[in-house]
Structure 1
Amino acid sequence: MATTRSAVWIVTKYDGTEKKWERELKGRDFTRNQMCYVIRMLACTDLTSEEAIDSIDPSTQTGHLKWSEENGVISCGDNPHYVARQVP
């Protein structure tokens, strides 16, 4: 019986349109929700302490950690920002 390889997630960091970093997550079964969490945590690494607090404070909620999804590509962050996509 042939085994099927699970899809791989490609996570990329962009600064504007310039690719700064990319990682392929091989052999890991991340759900869509888990990947949203992963890229939100990566986006946190580019925030100052004040921005991190403001992004979760209900009175300010800046949107720094807001994620979106379009055509199967998940993104999070202002600039720099992170995107994640699955490939077979």
Structure 2
Amino acid sequence: MSEMKETDLCHKAEAAKILQCHPDTLKRWRGKKLIENIHYVQRSPRSIRYVRPLIEDLAINWNNEAGHQRAIENYRAGLLSNRKKKR
């Protein structure tokens, strides 16, 4: 996901505000509700950024797993690495 725009990423405080939880709760949710390289990117052990559009969608579709999965697929389809090369 190297072509992900920097504006799509946010810090844990903003992600926690979107999800209406405490920032420390995000750590517990990583690996359970939040998926690495989908909902968040770990650049180093101390640098984790959350993917704002998917965090916002997760907040809306918390109990609608199928709806959130469609949002993940649509977001990933829009990334440069998933576009067909023009000749």
TM-score greater than 0.5 by the shorter chain: no
TM-score (norm 1): 0.29
More helix by share: 2
Larger Rg: 1
Task: Flag the structure with more relative contact order, 1 or 2, with Cα contacts below 8 A and sequence separation at least 6.
Answer: 1
TM-score (norm 2): 0.30
